[in-house]
Amino acid sequence: MELLNDLISPIVLGTLLGGLYVVVALGLSLVFGVLKVINVAHGTLVIFGSYVAYAVASAWGIDPILWLLIGIPLFFFLGVLIEKYLLARAVSKSADAALIIAFGIALIIQNAAQIFWSPQSRSLLTDYSFNSFQVGDIYIPLVYILNFFAALIVMLVVRQFLKKTYMGQAITAASQNKGTAELMGINSKQVYQIAFGIAMAMAAIAGVFYGLTFPFNPVSGNALLIIAFGVVILGGLGSMAGTFIGGIIFGLSQTLGGYFFGPTGQLLVPFLMVLVVLTIRPQGLFGR
Amino acid sequence: MEIKTHRFMPFILPAVVLVSLVVLPLFNVPQAWLLYMFYFFVFLTAANMWNLLAGYSGLLALCPAAFIGLGGYIMTILTWLEIPYYFGIVVGGLAAAIFAGIISISVFRMKGIYFAIGTMVVPAILRLLFLRWRPVGGDFQGGGAGYMIKGVSSISPQVSYWIGLAISLLSIILVYIILRSKFGLGLAAIRDNDVSAASSGVNVFKLKLFSFIIAAFGMGLAGAVFYTYQGYIEPNSAFDINWLMIVLLATVMGGIGIEWGPLLGTIIVVFLHFQLARYAGMSLLIQGFILVIIMLVAPQGLLGLFRDLRIKAGSWTRKKLPAQG
């Protein structure tokens, strides 16, 4: 009974943390689904989002969440540019070439961040950073709840966008079968740009919430990338509900791993789980 | 007799290069040169092995750091057990090969992108494991603190150089033999179309597994040799993503899936590594730009670009010829 009481806190926090991972993973999943590219820069792009929010907050004192009103369109536009001028040429040649370009983009951003903001850890501090709720015996930090709600909102918006709008349906069509989509008059070049733009916008959102939750440094993106991979893979590529459940499982195994095996267990347990799940079900838990 | 001498002609240039590389440290060359060459040999070994995987076997394995770090660690642990380093280097390579065999049970079930991601998780797991594990030594060694490597301070730069030369030569010969054997023929068939290769009787799974294990052995050797020179190992750098970047840069810049691609690529990587070292933080930034630019301009690598240009030039002269005649 004592154990059960102790476990409530990691379970609640893990579930809420899972929300954050869902937002990180959705961008990765979307780019893979549409462009068929493993965007190894995604983790770093998320951390780039954290840094930009940090820079804006320290220069003009703008609240990071409020900053997203400008940050989302800005990152969307940036994503369209990256796809148009860097990825598009490689995507048409081979998936490997695009992967390597993404790797190069990650290197550039990481080292630029190191030069601009030093290798030190930073965090997004706000008035509400240290607020928490008490529910029964456990304290839940406010930012964890914000993470979870952000995840729900992003998921709902993306889902509605993909289902209801023309561009959303075009993206779905192109991800299912590019050739047929083109025959139906869909401009696949434009679809690719917009899909990458949306993924970047999601990176901006994820970056802000990640920065509010954890300290970050220029190379945090590498670990975050593997986490995002883990989440996407646990759920299976191309399944949004799967990604959501994958995120929660990953968050839970992280907090429970930390509870049972100490700080290094926090990531060891979820990573091992990724390998075990893939060994048993190579297409992920919910993959087709 | 004439034919016989002719047969040895192609081997004269490599032989001259090899002999001069072997005797180089005997002359009074600057120590820095030996260091550059040592890095070149280690990186070349790893890049050659990775080219075998990604270029020839269609295995985009993002886990060179796992094999390199593991090779280094096994060698280190053995030196703590009073086993000489040269023995440890070989065992380090073998351990990496065995480890590849073990993880293949898991990762070889995955296809394409899943394989890439699954292998990418492997070094991350090893890093976390070695952060916890203290197989030898007291409480103050191992784990995050890392290990000093025992009995390697006596190795002279010349000996390090020769060991490096030996393993890079081994990697070149391995790839050379593999590509000219039935094994290599099978790999080429798989690379071009694995379904039709399988239906022509090529055992796709077995060949891929073999090249995975061979490549792991080579990378394990490279890691073990590298850390005898470093004299110190710790999990964060041993299993770092930088290893992936080095082999990726070297292979891609030279030309992926081209036998001599890694050689050219590694020369550029080592040159950049030391030339850019003085700019510290800028170094990787510049390498990132170079990587992106090369992929945009010549995704087939520099050697691939030369090859394509030669083919283009060839077809151009052929077109010209009839007009003259």
Which pLDDT value is given to residue B125? 87
Which pLDDT value is given to residue B43? 94
Q: Is B121 within 8 Å of A275 when comparing Cβ atoms?
A: yes
Residue type, B290: I
CB of B292 within 8 Å of any CB in chain A? yes
The minimum CA-CA distance between B109 and chain A, rounded to whole Å, is: 6
Contact B229, B269 (CB under 8 A): no
What mean pLDDT comes out for the span B268-292? Answer: 78
pLDDT in tens, B67-89: 999 999 999 988 888 888 888 89
CB of A258 within 8 Å of any CB in chain B? no
Q: How confident is the model at residue A2 (pLDDT cuts 50, 70, 90)?
A: low
Lowest mean pLDDT among A65-74, A78-87, A208-217, B143-152: B143-152
Which pLDDT value is given to residue B325? 42
Strands A132-135, B147-148: parallel, antiparallel or unpaired by DSSP? unpaired
pLDDT in tens, A167-211: 888 888 887 777 788 888 788 788 889 889 999 999 999 999 998
CB of B128 within 8 Å of any CB in chain A? yes
B170: pLDDT strictly greater than 90: yes
Sign of CA dihedral A168, A169, A171, A172: positive
Contacts of B319 (CB under 8 A, 6+ apart): none
Sign of CA dihedral A28, A30, A31, A36: positive
The minimum CA-CA distance between A67 and chain B, rounded to whole Å, is: 28
Which pLDDT value is given to residue B159? 86
The minimum CA-CA distance between B56 and chain A, rounded to whole Å, is: 13
CB of B11 within 8 Å of any CB in chain A? no
Residue with tokens 């950049």: B272
Lowest mean pLDDT among B133-137, B264-268, B285-289: B133-137
Considering only CB atoms, A103 lies closest to which of B122, B248, B282, namely B248
Give this complex's ipTM: 0.78
Average pLDDT, chain B: 83
Strand ranges in B106-184 using DSSP code E only, listed in sequence order: 147-148
Lowest mean pLDDT among A17-31, A75-89, A228-242, B257-271: A228-242
CB of B81 within 8 Å of any CB in chain A? no
Chain A residues with CB-CB distance to B105 below 8 A? 279
Task: Provide the 3-class DSSP secondary structure of residue A135.
Answer: strand
Chain B residues with CB-CB distance to A237 below 8 A? 113
pLDDT in tens, B24-66: 787 877 888 888 899 999 999 999 999 999 888 888 888 899 9
Tokens of B86: 């040269």
Considering only alpha carbons, which residue of chain A is nearest residue B105?
A279
Q: How confident is the model at residue B321 (pLDDT cuts 50, 70, 90)?
A: low
Q: How confident is the model at residue A61 (pLDDT cuts 50, 70, 90)?
A: confident
Mutation for A interface: B128, B246, B290, most A CBs within 10 A: B128
Considering only alpha carbons, which residue of chain B is nearest residue A267?
B128
What mean pLDDT comes out for the span A44-66? Answer: 88
Contact A34, A192 (CB under 8 A): yes
CB of A111 within 8 Å of any CB in chain B? yes
Strand ranges in chain B using DSSP code E only, listed in sequence order: 147-148, 232-233
Chain A residues with CB-CB distance to B109 below 8 A? 278-279, 282
B100: pLDDT strictly greater than 90: yes
What mean pLDDT comes out for the span B226-244? Answer: 86
Partner residues linked to B321 by β-bridges:
none
Q: Label residues A250-288 b or e (16+ Cβ within 10 Å = b).
A: bbbbbbbbbbeeeebbbbbbbbbbbbebbbeebbbbbbe
pLDDT in tens, B177-215: 998 888 888 888 887 777 888 888 888 888 889 999 999
Report the range out of A73-77, B76-80, B132-136, B270-274 with the highest average pLDDT.
A73-77
Mutation for A interface: B102, B237, B295, most A CBs within 10 A: B295
Mutation for B interface: A29, A37, A100, A220, most B CBs within 10 A: A100
Which pLDDT value is given to residue A103? 84
Contacts of A152 (CB under 8 A, 6+ apart): A19
Which pLDDT value is given to residue B323? 52
Q: Which residue has the higher pLDDT, A288 or A55?
A: A55
Q: Is A226 within 8 Å of B116 when comparing Cβ atoms?
A: no
Partner residues linked to A140 by β-bridges:
A133
The minimum CA-CA distance between A74 and chain B, rounded to whole Å, is: 23
Strands A132-135, B232-233: parallel, antiparallel or unpaired by DSSP? unpaired
Tokens of B150: 């025992």
In this prediction the pTM is: 0.83
CB of B285 within 8 Å of any CB in chain A? yes
Considering only CB atoms, A282 lies closest to which of B110, B116, B120, namely B110
Partner residues linked to A133 by β-bridges:
A140
Q: How far apart are CA A205 and CA A194, in angstroms?
A: 17
CB of B192 within 8 Å of any CB in chain A? no
In the 8-state DSSP scheme, what is residue B291? H
The minimum CA-CA distance between B127 and chain A, rounded to whole Å, is: 9
Contact A232, A25 (CB under 8 A): yes
pLDDT in tens, A138-159: 778 888 888 888 888 988 888 8
Which pLDDT value is given to residue B8? 64
Residue type, A138: I
Considering only CB atoms, B125 lies closest to which of A105, A108, A271, namely A271
> Would you call B179 exposed, middle or buried from its count of C-beta atoms within 10 A (0-12, 13-18, 19+)?
middle
> Would you call B133 exposed, middle or buried from its count of C-beta atoms within 10 A (0-12, 13-18, 19+)?
middle
> Would you call A137 exposed, middle or buried from its count of C-beta atoms within 10 A (0-12, 13-18, 19+)?
exposed
Torsion of the alpha carbons at B21, B27, B33 and B35, rounded to the nearest 10? 80
pLDDT in tens, A263-278: 777 778 888 888 788 7
Q: How far apart are CA B14 and CA B152, in angstroms?
A: 31
Q: Is B60 within 8 Å of A99 when comparing Cβ atoms?
A: yes
Q: How far apart are CA A94 and CA B128, in angstroms?
A: 33
Considering only alpha carbons, which residue of chain B is nearest residue A275?
B118
